[in-house]
């Protein structure tokens, strides 16, 4: 009995260690905590044949790297634009395969929506995406747990240009970003079907204006590395 006890307790410890750890919800980041004057421009819903090349040209003109949250079903139709983004050093994140709103969906449905997009992006030469932007800004607790299990960080935003509503002019949106800018801010634009000349114009205006204020533009991935204290 005395001899078998260590073996028995070892088996119990082994059983506990082999159990999957409870799912931790994915972290949701709306702004990175940093003292550095950095901003991240993000573009959702692309790529689109009309707007993505114009946005890329505006960013490249000022040597700015940004983050694109890609819809997989759009990427398969315009693979050359994903390759162009990668060639230009842009950060690629996931925005789902079909832009599915992750509310009241089963873990299996969520996993498939997110995993298929990762496979599409990897097949086009992207590293495995680790950043996810929730369509419609929606992710319930099942979604956050599933995304956490899959190793994703969920990226929100702190400056919403609402460009998809097509109400704001380029000038209005550029001024909005200038006024709301603060270290670690994440700005949301759209380069998919809801993109517009106003979006492209705002990007062209705000980059030099914020550079004059001492801001640097970085990708979300780069900005996460500048976080100066751990989140609780």
Q: Which is nearer to Zn ion, 28 or 209 (CB)?
A: 28
Residue 204: CB minimum distance to Zn ion, A: 22
CB contact at 8 A, 171 and 198: no
Q: Which is nearer to Zn ion, 44 or 113 (CB)?
A: 44
72 binds Zn ion (CB under 5 A): no
Catalytic option among 45, 74, 95, 190: 190
Among 46, 72, 135, 184, binds Zn ion (CB under 5 A): 135
Q: Which is nearer to Zn ion, 44 or 163 (CB)?
A: 44
Residue 85: CB minimum distance to Zn ion, A: 16
Residue 153: CB minimum distance to Zn ion, A: 17
Burial of 9 (0-12, 13-18, 19+ CB in 10 A): exposed
Cis amide linkage into residue 45, ω under 30° from 0: no
Q: Say whether 44 is catalytic.
A: yes
Percent of the chain that is helix, strand, coil (3-state, to 5): 45, 15, 40
The first and second tokens of residue 201, run together, are: 């114009």
Among 42, 45, 56, 91, binds Zn ion (CB under 5 A): 45
* Residue 40 main-chain phi, psi, to 5 deg: -120, 120
Query: What gap in Å lies between CA 21 and CA 121, rounded to an integer?
Result: 28
Q: Which is nearer to Zn ion, 154 or 205 (CB)?
A: 154
Query: What gap in Å lies between CA 144 and CA 228, rounded to an integer?
Result: 24
Residue 62: CB minimum distance to Zn ion, A: 25
Among 44, 85, 113, 191, binds Zn ion (CB under 5 A): 44
Which among 93, 113, 80, 73 has a CA at the least distance from the CA of 193? 73
Q: Which residues are catalytic?
A: 44, 190
Contact residues for Zn ion, defined by CB under 5 A: 44-45, 135
């Amino acid at each position: 009995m005395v001899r078998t006890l260590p073996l028995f307790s070892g088996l119990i410890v082994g059983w506990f260690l082999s159990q999957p750890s409870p799912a931790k919800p994915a972290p949701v980041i709306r702004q990175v905590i940093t003292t550095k004057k950095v901003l991240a421009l993000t573009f959702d819903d692309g790529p689109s044949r009309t707007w993505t090349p114009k946005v890329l040209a505006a960013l490249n003109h000022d040597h700015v790297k940004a983050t694109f949250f890609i819809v997989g079903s759009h990427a398969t139709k315009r693979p050359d634009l994903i390759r162009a983004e990668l060639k230009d050093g842009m950060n690629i994140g996931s925005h789902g395969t079909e832009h599915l709103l992750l509310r009241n969906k089963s873990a299996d449905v969520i996993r498939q929506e997110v995993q298929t997009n990762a496979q599409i992006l990897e097949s086009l030469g992207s590293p495995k995406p680790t950043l996810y932007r929730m369509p419609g800004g929606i992710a319930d607790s099942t979604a956050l747990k599933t995304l956490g299990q899959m190793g994703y960080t969920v990226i929100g935003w702190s400056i919403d240009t609402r460009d998809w509503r097509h109400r704001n002019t380029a000038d209005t949106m550029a001024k909005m970003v200038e006024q709301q800018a603060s270290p670690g801010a994440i700005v949301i634009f759209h380069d998919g079907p809801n993109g517009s000349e106003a979006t492209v114009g705002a990007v062209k205006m705000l980059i030099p204006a914020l550079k004059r204020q001492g801001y640097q533009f970085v990708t979300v991935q780069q900005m996460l590395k500048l976080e100066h204290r751990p989140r609780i």
